[in-house]
């Protein structure tokens, strides 16, 4: 976590899926190579947002890879197909869990199954205790501090999306506000306007309306606003090699402008 300078603004910028640390235990247990695992990353999004602290915004990221633990899921989204010994649960697993995309992912998109074998419940709980709870405790704390200081807070939860998604064909950025329930309309409209002025095409809530982080933290009536932003990956990197290309600096400049715009709470 990098706090804002010189003092925190109402804006908190988070990047939960850009971690590039793959624990040895994950690599040993995986049937996929590192290149396939890295396809699940929101690669370099943390660097695109690295200018946040200079505006007064707080930046919250993680070193750990999404394959190890997905911080944009509910803590109890545990996959019985992957994890042994789960307590009996009356509820039907969420659609994300059924797709293998629970808090500990079972699949890596088109790469298929990640693990050679199932994991024990104790191992899953250890990952959650080590990473999930501290990350969300830190995020809760900075949002609470921002709301106390400014009367409201805004979380910009930052992600990236593959360019080949048919549901977002021709769209550069998708904003997710849980269909208008996680942040004030004015905020989403301001973000869309800044991006469109920079020449980007913007859509709302399709195919991404916001994940667990947005729905959990977004309560506009209580002064807690949360907006998810998905950037098309080929705007700033080569999707085959995952290396940034010449468009990276251009996209980062747009993100710097957006964050600077949002960092000052509107009257």
Give the pLDDT score at 204.
96
What pLDDT, on the 0 to 100 scale, is given for residue 1? 57
The boundaries of the domain holding residue 166 are 11-21+43-66+123-263
pLDDT confidence of residue 93: 81
Determine if the pTM surpasses 0.85: yes
- Cα 162 to Cα 39: distance, rounded to the nearest angstrom: 9
Q: Is residue 205 part of a domain?
A: yes
Backbone angles phi, psi at 167, to 5 degrees: -70, -20
In a domain, 216, yes or no: yes
> Considering the domain boundaries, does residue 103 fall inside one?
no
User: pLDDT under 50 in the chain at which residues?
Assistant: 267
> Is 221 part of a structural domain of the chain?
yes
**181-190 pLDDT, tens digit each:** 999 999 999 9
The answer to whether position 4 is within a domain reads no
**37, part of any domain:** no
Q: What is the pLDDT of residue 170?
A: 85
Would 2 be classed as within a structural domain?
no
Domain membership flag for residue 112: no
Give pLDDT, residue 165. Answer: 80
* Contact criterion met (CB below 8 Å) for 170 and 201: yes
Number of domains in the chain: 1
What's the rounded Cα separation, in Å, for the pair 181 and 227? 10
Model pLDDT, residue 88? 72
- Are the beta carbons of 151 and 223 closer than 8 angstroms? yes
Say which CATH number the domain at 140 has: 3.40.630.40
DSSP one-letter code for 167: G
């Amino acid at each position: 976590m990098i706090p804002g300078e010189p003092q925190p603004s109402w804006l908190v910028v988070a990047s939960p899926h850009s971690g590039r640390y793959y624990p040895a235990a994950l690599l040993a247990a995986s049937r996929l190579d590192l290149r396939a695992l890295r396809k699940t990353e929101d690669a370099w999004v943390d660097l695109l947002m690295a200018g946040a602290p200079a505006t007064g915004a707080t930046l919250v990221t993680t070193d750990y890879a999404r394959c190890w633990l997905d911080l944009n899921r509910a803590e109890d989204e545990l996959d019985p197909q992957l994890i042994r010994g789960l307590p009996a649960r009356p509820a039907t697993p969420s659609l994300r869990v059924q797709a293998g995309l629970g808090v500990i992912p079972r699949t890596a998109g088109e790469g298929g199954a990640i693990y050679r074998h199932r994991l024990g419940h104790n191992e899953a709980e250890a990952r959650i205790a080590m990473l999930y709870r501290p990350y969300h405790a830190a995020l809760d704390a900075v949002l609470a501090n921002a709301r106390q200081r400014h009367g409201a807070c805004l979380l910009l939860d930052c992600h990236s999306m593959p360019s080949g998604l048919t549901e977002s064909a021709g769209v550069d950025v998708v904003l997710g506000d849980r269909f208008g329930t996680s942040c004030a309309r004015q905020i989403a409209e301001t973000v869309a306007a800044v991006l469109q002025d920079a020449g980007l095409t913007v859509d709302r809530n399709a195919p991404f309306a916001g994940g667990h982080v947005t729905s959990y933290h977004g309560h506009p009536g209580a002064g807690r606003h949360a907006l998810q932003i998905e950037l098309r990956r080929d705007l700033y990197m080569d999707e085959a090699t995952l290396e940034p290309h010449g468009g990276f600096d251009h996209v980062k400049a747009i993100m710097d402008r957006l964050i600077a715009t949002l960092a000052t709470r509107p009257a």
